Each structure stands twice: as C-alpha cells, then as structure tokens.
Amino acid sequence: MKIITPETILSPTRQLSGMSIAFDTHIRAIGQLHELLEQFPEADFVEVPLHSLVMPGLINPHVHLEFSANKETLKYGSFMPWLNSVIENREDLIGGCDANCMSKACDEMLKNGITTFGAVSSYALDLEAAANAKQKVLFFNEVIGSQATMADTLYDDFMSRVEASLQVKREGFYPAIAIHSPYSVHPALIKRALKYATQHNMVTTAHYMESPAEQEWLASNSGEFKPFFTEFLKQDYAVNTSESFLSLFKDKPTLMTHVVQADHGELKQLAQDGHTVIHCPISNRLLGNGTIDLEKLDVNKVSWVMGTDGLSSNYTLDLIEEMKIALFMHANRDLTTLATELLTNATVNSAKALGMNTGEIAVGKEADLLIIDLETTPSEQLPVHLLLHGYNIQKIYINGNEVS
C-alpha cells in the first residue's frame, strides 16, 4: 500500500486540496492523511514536489502505430491527395518502422501521460510493440476490403490476426476489433466481424464520415472517391450507404472516429445506438476534413472523447497537445468549461467508452495516476493551464506500479 499527499487532486472535474490517496493496484481510500494512516499504518509514502498535482492517466483510444515512420513523406491539406500518398508510399513507411520504431511511439505516449491507448492495427506489425508496451492496450484488429469476391480470404486474414492477438497473455492487453470505414468494408465482412466481437465481448471501433469525399461517395456514388475506386478496385458504387452502415452497428455500441461530416440524422442515430465519437482535431485539419461541430454533438446528445490518430496524419502522439489545439479550434465555447470537458473526455469518459475501470481518482478505480509538478499553487483555471503548459510529469503509475 502507498499513500500520496499532493497539494492538489484533479479527478477530473473535481479539484481537491489537503487530501491524501491510499492505493495499491486500485485506489483504496481518499481522505485526510491521519485517517488513512490509521487505516493503513504500514503504507509507504510517495514523495512529491511541493506544488504537486495528482490526476488520472490519459487515455488515447485511437492511434495507428504502423505508420510511425512518417514525418515529411505524406501529403497534407486535402484527404484524397493524402490517401493517394499513403498508397504510393505505404511499403516504404511500413518497412521504415520496425518494432523498435513503434515501441518508441509507445514510450513517447507514456512520457506524455498516456497510460492507456487503442492501437488500430491493419497488418499486426505493431503486435509486438503493443504487447510489450507499459500501458494498457486495446489492440484493434482491423478488417478492410470492399470486394465481395475477396470476402472470405480477407476475413480469414483478419481472423488470423485476431487469433495472434489472443495469444498475448499479459495484464492490461485487450484484443479488440476495428471496422475500417463504410466505404472500404463490404457489409458481409462487417456483419461477420461484429458478430465475432459481440460473441467475445470485444470493444469495436470504426472510421466514419471523416471527409467530404466519403460523404459524397456514400450519398451519391460520386465525387473525389469515384476515380479512386474505379481505378484501383474497378468499382463504381459504394458498398454501403451511411444509413445501411450504421444499421449494422445498431446492437453494438462502437467508438466512431472523426464523424466530421455527419448530419443531424446521422448524429441522432449515433446517440440513439449508444456510440461514442473520437475527436481527432489535428488529423482533421491536416487532411482538410473540416472541424467537428461540438454544438451539434451536444444538441444530439452524442458522447465524444479525444484521440490523436497516428503519425500518418499528425505530428505528435501527445494528447495534451491534441487537447490544446482543440481548445483553440473550438473558439466559440467557454475556455475553462471546454478545457475541463476535454480533460474529462480524455480520462473518465474514454474509460467508460472502452469499458475500463480507470480514468478517475475515485475509490475502487484502478490506480493509473500522473504526478505533475505545477511549480506554483494552481488557480481555478487549472484545466486551462494544464493544456497550455503541460508541466513536468514527475511520476506515472499504472495499476499502482511506477512505470516512469
């Protein structure tokens, strides 16, 4: 058992002072120091800086590790030029990032306070890095393929990757399933993957309504995607509409990534079926997909959380930086309220969406903690300053074990 007495606890909407936390693998008690000493007289003390903050570890539910070699290779500014550059450079990017490269990306996320992440895996090349990561990992095996004639072969490949991830036996590693997108996965494949996920109680995620090109292709089989599908796949129609795609997920709440181009009816359906949106503002900007309308999410009662996406469409896997960008991007919202909302969505709300018992400083939660040196006593705008300045993370605990 350990006891920590920081100057401030942020959890993440409550800001407490003068309180101590007793924890082993889980948080066992929160209260006055003398009360915890009576309850746990043999506990060890954790030394902290004078102006220390304890808050939950951050959760990044959407990252692509396999493209972590990208820096200046891919073309930014618009979705289709970016996608074409991915296809053109895919072999070089994948070959340029081995397990050590991907492990470095995991370590960078940890350094920036991310204690849980969701790795969306296209080829399972990141399995070793994810299995050996210090963080808790949801390993999203991704199914992709829009051609019906290839469905059985693609499903077999997908299942071989799922089975490989199931062989990883370590605490905090959870095999999961990703459906790439409505334009790239045949409904027969989606149905089979979702059935498996439901039968095995696996978390699911998908890309949905990311770009104007996707929206136009699904709605009218036209636009920038048409020459792409005609040239590469000899396909002149979308295998799903937006409506038919969502209907497949009706009984399986899923983390839907991006959702920038969704309309009122689609957002209403997402909320009705219990889905959660993953907001990746930097990726959306770099790929020219626009800015998600948080007011529309609120009006339609759609839950949302924060993610970084991968280094194929971002310059960092730092979730604090992602939230800082969002703080400036959504300038119509009250500054402190938005900062608090962002931190809440990057901790406790992400944990809920992923079905995990973490993301909060509360009795019974797994002890995934960040100890941060604030350098001065915090003001009532602590959430704003955390995002603006980042500060120095002194120690990181996952399930009560120090990992930094």
Say which of 66, 210, 214, 266 is annotated catalytic.
210
C-alpha separations of 109 from 58, 140, 169, 205, 385 in Å: 9, 17, 22, 20, 20
CB 67 within 8 A of CB 94: yes
Residue 277's SS3 state is strand
Q: Splitting the chain (404 residues) into consecutive groups of 10 residues, what average pLDDT does each group show? A: 98 91 98 97 96 98 97 96 95 94 98 98 97 98 94 96 97 98 97 98 98 98 95 91 98 98 98 98 98 97 98 98 98 97 98 98 98 94 95 96 92
CB 364 within 8 A of CB 357: yes
The fold for domain 2-56+360-402 equals Urease, subunit C; domain 1 (2.30.40)
Separation of alpha carbons 223 and 214, rounded Å: 9
Could you tell me which residues come within 8 angstroms of residue 384 by beta carbon, excluding any fewer than 6 positions away? 327, 335, 336, 339
pLDDT of residue 234: 85
Residue 241's SS3 state is coil
pLDDT of residue 12: 79
Task: Tell me which CATH homologous superfamily contains domain 58-354.
Answer: Metal-dependent hydrolases (3.20.20.140)
> Exposure pattern of 207-227 as b/e (b: 16+ CB <10 Å)?
bbbbbbbbbbbbeeeebbbbe
CB 398 within 8 A of CB 98: no
CA angle centred on 228, ends 222 and 232, rounded to 5°: 135
Tokens coding 106: 């995991």
All structural domains of the chain with their residue ranges? 2-56+360-402, 58-354
> Is 360 noted as a catalytic residue in this protein?
no
DSSP 8-state code for residue 366: B
Task: Give pTM, 2 decimals.
Answer: 0.97
DSSP 8-state code for residue 380: T
pLDDT of residue 13: 80
pLDDT of residue 262: 98
